[in-house]
Structure 1
Amino acid sequence: MSNTHAKVIEFLSGLLQVDIPPDIDDLHRREFSDWDSINHLRLIMELEEMLGVSLEDEQAADLSSSRQIEALFLKHGLTLPGEESS
């Protein structure tokens, strides 16, 4: 598991205010009841602020797993707290 993946899981755990096992391979919105529509909006707003971008509606709607969030972080070169940029 990459450091970025671990940080994404930690980010989601804090955002959703639930304990998520750090060794989970991928967290899908459809399989996690706490990732409801309100929390999805919070997620999108938080990501847009962190990335300094506005996500397209389709991008925001399609963002439904921790792996997709990880890919978005990597695409935008986002470095999370405690992580070195490469």
Structure 2
Amino acid sequence: MDKKLQFVLNLIKSEKTEEAREEFRKIETVETVEYWLLKGKLEQKFQNWGEAINAFNKVLDLDENNREAQNNLHFIQNIINFWNPEMFNP
């Protein structure tokens, strides 16, 4: 993995998400699985679900069997589809 991408990934793992976002913005877009996975993870941290879904789908365009992207998309779908029936009981 590219050193810049690895640096951003380490920031995310350290819960330094604001700093990670700033550093990621400095990286030029590249059409690699690693780039789009990292973008998806970063967007997911900020609950930017649409952007995260787009990034993980881009990973699947590049590598249709990527388990990490598939798992993250499934996770996001579960969050988006979450329905609490108690909210609708009078």
Structure (1 or 2) with the larger CA radius of gyration? 2
Q: Same fold (TM over 0.5)?
A: no
Query: Given the two structures, how large is their TM-score scaled by the length of structure 2?
Result: 0.29
Structure having greater relative contact order (Cα 8 Å, sep ≥ 6) = 1
